[in-house]
Chains A and B, each alone.
Chain A
Amino acid sequence: MAANPPVETGERPSGWLDQRTRLGPVIRASLHVRIPMSARTYYFGGIALFLFGIQVVTGTLLALYYKPTPEAAYESVQFITSDVSFGWLIRSMHHWAANLMVLFVGLHLVRVFMQAAYKYPRELTWVLGCLLLLVTLGFGFTGYLLPWDQRAYWATVVGTEIAGGVPIVGETLLLLLRGGPDVTGDTMSRFFGIHVLVLPLMLAGLLAAHLLLVHQLGLANPRRPEPRVATPESRQERLRPFFPHYLIDELVAWYVILAILVVLASLFPVGLEGPANPLETPAHTKPEWYYLGVFELLKLVPIKVVGIMIPVVGIGLLVVWPFLDRSPEVLIRRRKVVVGGATLVIIALLALTVLGFVS
């Protein structure tokens, strides 16, 4: 049986690997794109991608020693942190990278919103980005339980309790999350499975689609709307190569983030509270900082259902926003209502988070 003849692409395979994979054109098409000189990404998206890479590497190393059962989880985390060579570094990097990832995905979303980069033709890129944010938050939520210490256990009890307050589906959602009426070993099993299998696959798929769309559509110009039909003006846009010019900038940003991670992991290594004890409720149970705003909102709003529905509806609005905001304007000064409203929401969220910290 003869091998298929090489497809005629007009380009001859140059190197040894290229001859055997014929991926040269794909790689060249991915790297050798040009982006507008005026594009300002502040590297937020790239940093989030880098942090995801860190999570994959450190998470894999942690999984080599971690034991996902209530009897063994706590001691295995203690073993990783105290006895495994550089285990403390791996665990601390995983912890801090997770926090920074949530932060930078959030900053990326705010940047895209403020620059109106969600508008035509990037609506689907935005929707995929929102889903990536939810998956990232899901990573944080499921990963938080895994050390099985007091903080992890009770934060999960509170978190799942909030999910249980969602109207109509709340009770089912609570049972689905916990694997029963209480947070037990069943909860840990499914959180571990979701954390290391379901969410990484989801994130990889969504991320691939997100990056593919970014590649195909290019970076948005923050100064003018994307024309539906290419105009001479748009063809005269000053461009620069993605590789290596833009990528070097990204690399510098990644190095800076790596330095921050090393400092955080060295000076503020992640600790471990006492083993989870379902019979001993700590005095002040609080979720992670990125859930504190919602947590505080729930405390302030007297009607629980309303408190829960505000963020649920907010996230729903965020996802479909490009289909609601049909105006082609991209400049902030011409989108005062939208930008002002978003700023107010951000300030409120920050204020609630600060309140959650101090209360």
Chain B
Amino acid sequence: MHQHVTARRRALRLGAILALAGGAWFALAFSASAESPSPSADAAGSPSPSASAPTVPTPGPSDTGWMFETPAPIDQVPLATAPPLPPLVVHPDGAGVNGCYDCHSAVNNKQAAITAEWESSAHGQAAVTCAACHGGDPGTDQIGKAMDRAIGYIGAPGRMETVGLCGSCHANVARMRTSGLPTDQYAQYWSSVHGQLLVTENDTRVAVCTDCHGAHDVRKVSDPKSKVFATNVPALCASCHSDARRMEPYGIPTDQLDVYSASVHGVALLENNDTRAPSCTSCHGSHDAQPPTSTNVVEVCGQCHTATQELYEQSRHSELKAAAPKCWTCHGTHDVSKASSALFFHPETPDYTCTTCHDLTTHTLRLELSRFENEADRRCDSCHHPDSQIYAQIEGISDAVVSAEAAYEEADQTIQEAARLGMITADAEVALMGAKTSLIQAQAAVHTTSLTKIAALSTDAKTKSEAAMALATAKVDENVFRRQAMIIVLAFILLSVAFLVITKRRLDRELEEG
């Protein structure tokens, strides 16, 4: 009987929860549909593209400071519906004849260059002919018949039509199956800032497929000559985003390429050609390009820095939710520099006011991102006051990490000195690698903000560094011994030579006399 009552209570509770959740969902959906711009309404309203500002908010520091509570994150803004996928371009089968190529390659240099571009492109290699995009009849050499709009000749597609034209093949699962390419780019594109502006504002200035991939010279992403090859991506994005005139209507800064190029990511990718390093698309997406918001930046950075993300999520910082310092608070965005112990404190104690960290009206913590725009201000004591208990804890963390780094550095220098003297330092290097692993773990553990954990790892790193140092010092001492022994051996050789020379002179004299 008792069990029966309990079961009924549970069912009632579950029903109440479901009812509340359903109500909340309905309210959210209603509000979303009310705010969502309808593509048809947009088409009817047709706002001037040149005058309109983007409706999708661009997150980032503003002059007034960004309170985390105010704007809705971009991934929660309802998206406009993507246009329906057009069908494949229909054209007569050329029966192995590509009349378009035959004529256009002989018309003039410009047309010949276009046909040559196509021939070496991914499409040319995959036998995707001109008619697949332009329509017409490739099987005839009669210009009027080949380019007859009545049989479906398209000509050069407009920017508005390009996405659909590319998507007609690339979103077609059956068509793409043999090429092994993904088919979600079309859907992704319409979810991007570019796609949304195109569909909601008819803004044809935004990037479409051909702006990044080329038209006739489409190359595979893995082809270093491709504009979308990893090392070429920053320049490709900058071809629009560094253009101040082009970006003016959108209010987007145009210095990202310069800032990125000087960052650790930029140096790794552009100078060291390390294609593992992130380019623009690694954080912003490619077909689904959007600026990452403050709420999802940890996940974006965590795509590569997985272990660091896990450590951060164990920290007190991550518990602060909206007011939590995120990756970019300390490391920046496009200007990510090499992390070091310099990130702990300002050289001089900064000025603090109550509103630096607190919202006096709501009595909550707040994080003003504009305060971290300057790399020199991304420090722990930008938020933590010297009189606070947390500040003392940071000092403990800093001391532990810095002393471990110093021990490692000293051991490394001594090993290099031993190697410079010609000593084999393999054992010391192996020992130092162990120290480095512990040191990296200690440095990464800073993201947990746990003094106990960081101090333990730092002590481990220091102990291992000292062991490596002892091995390296023995090598240097051994080298000193060798040099001293060398001098003694040379002295013996000198004595022997002197004896031989004296003997030789006596023999020569005897020879002359005798």
The interface of chain A, by Cβ under 8 A from chain B, is 78, 81-82, 88-89, 240-241, 244-245, 248-249, 251-252, 255-256, 258-259, 262-263, 266-272
Contacts and interface: CB of A to CB of B under 8 A. Distances in A.
B505 to A, nearest CB: 10
B423 A269 contact: yes
A248 B423 contact: no
Interface band, chain B: 20 to 34
A88 B425 CA distance: 13
Given A78-B426, A255-B500, A259-B493, A245 B482 contact: no
Contact of A268 (B422, B494, B503): B422
B389 interface: no
A252 B493 contact: no
B122 to A, nearest CB: 30
A21 to B, nearest CB: 28
Contacts of B501: 252
Contacts of B427: 82
Contacts of B490: 259, 262-263
A268 B422 CA distance: 6
Contacts of A263: 486, 490
A256 B503 CA distance: 17
20 contacts: A78-B424, A82-B424, A82-B427, A88-B482, A245-B507, A245-B511, A252-B504, A256-B497, A258-B493, A259-B490, A259-B493, A259-B494, A262-B490, A262-B493, A266-B485, A267-B486, A268-B422, A269-B482, A271-B419, A272-B424
A38 to B, nearest CB: 15
Contacts of B486: 262-263, 266-267
A95 B299 CA distance: 56
A252 B500 CA distance: 7
B340 interface: no
B511 A240 contact: yes
Contacts of A269: 422-423, 482
Given A89-B482, A249-B504, A266-B485, 10 more contacts: A78-B424, A81-B424, A252-B497, A258-B493, A266-B482, A266-B486, A267-B422, A269-B423, A271-B422, A272-B426
Nearest to B487: A266
B96 to A, nearest CB: 42
B42 interface: no
B439 to A, nearest CB: 22
A248 B507 contact: yes
A267 B483 contact: yes
Contacts of B500: 248, 251-252, 255
Interface of B: 419, 422-424, 426-427, 482-483, 485-486, 489-490, 493-494, 496-497, 500-501, 503-504, 507-508, 511
A96 to B, nearest CB: 12
B499 to A, nearest CB: 10
A270 B421 CA distance: 10
Contacts of A245: 504, 507-508, 511
Nearest to B505: A248
Nearest to B497: A255
Given A82-B424, A82-B427, A271-B422, A262 B489 contact: yes
Nearest to B422: A269
> A81, A266, A269, A271: which has the most chain B beta carbons within 10 Å?
A266
| Shortest Cβ-Cβ A-B pairs, 3 listed | A266-B486, A269-B422, A248-B504
A264 to B, nearest CB: 10
A359 B439 CA distance: 39
A89 to B, nearest CB: 8
Which one of B419, B486, B507 has the greatest number of beta carbons of chain A within 10 Å?
B486
Contacts of B426: 78, 82, 272
A50 to B, nearest CB: 13
Contact of B483 (A89, A258, A266): A266
A152 B265 CA distance: 35
A241 B496 CA distance: 22
A255 B511 contact: no
A256 B501 CA distance: 12
Contacts of B493: 255, 258-259, 262
A86 B423 CA distance: 13
A81 to B, nearest CB: 5
A256 B498 CA distance: 11
A82 B419 CA distance: 13
A244 B422 contact: no
Nearest to B503: A248
B504 to A, nearest CB: 5
Nearest to B485: A266
A79 B222 CA distance: 45
Contacts of B483: 266-267
A249 B485 CA distance: 26
A165 to B, nearest CB: 30
Nearest to B508: A245
A208 B497 CA distance: 28
Contacts of A249: 504
Contacts of A270: 422
A78 B423 CA distance: 11
A116 B508 CA distance: 28
Contacts of B482: 88-89, 266, 269
